[in-house]
Amino acid sequence: MPKKFIKRLMPDAHSIKTNKYLQIFGDLLHNANLWHLNRRSIAKAFAVGLFFAFIPVPFQMVLAAGIAILVHANLPISIALVWITNPLTMPAIFYVCYLVGTWIINAPAQEFEFHASWQWILDSLTTIGPAFLLGCLVCAVVFSIIGYVGIHSVWRFSVIKEWNKRKSLRIK
């Protein structure tokens, strides 16, 4: 059942409540609904976490935590899923987002070379920026919907499977 698997991977509530970056939420972190493992809260957490994983902004974890608190999603899972885009995966994921954006606006993909400078970022906002940002937004929405529906479906399927298993044991 997904609940048992997720429970093994989840950090404890105390470590998240004492995280210095999440202290801005204060007593809101003590809401018990943010820590429950049920189909709705986990599906919402996947939607929130996957959405912010594809949004190229600093402090994605804090944004995901804020939205998770607002929609009563599971907080640890919302925060953890943001790390899908980590320093190792970010270049590939964001390049695919850029390609999606160029495909949507029907623009040719431009060759570019990344430079870690503010000037490069400012110059890129006018050249590759529109396609990149649109691609990120589209990927964020699509993957958050896929995550929500996928978790909802897998959870429902596993519950039905467990019911049928119990039912067959009662009949014997």
pLDDT tens digits, one per residue of 53-99: 999 888 888 899 999 999 989 988 999 999 999 889 888 898 899 89
What distance separates the 2 farthest-apart alpha carbons in the chain?
Answer: 72
Number of independent structural domains in the chain: 1
pTM check: above 0.75: yes
Picking from 165, 115, 157, 138, the residue whose alpha carbon sits closest to that of residue 51 is: 138
Picking from 74, 101, 91, 103, the residue whose alpha carbon sits closest to that of residue 16 is: 74
Cβ–Cβ under 8 Å, residues 41 and 72: yes
Share of the chain above pLDDT 70, in %: 83
Q: How confident is the model at residue 123 (pLDDT cuts 50, 70, 90)?
A: confident
Picking from 13, 15, 18, the residue whose alpha carbon sits closest to that of residue 32 is: 13
Structural domain of 134: 2-171
pLDDT of residue 147: 94
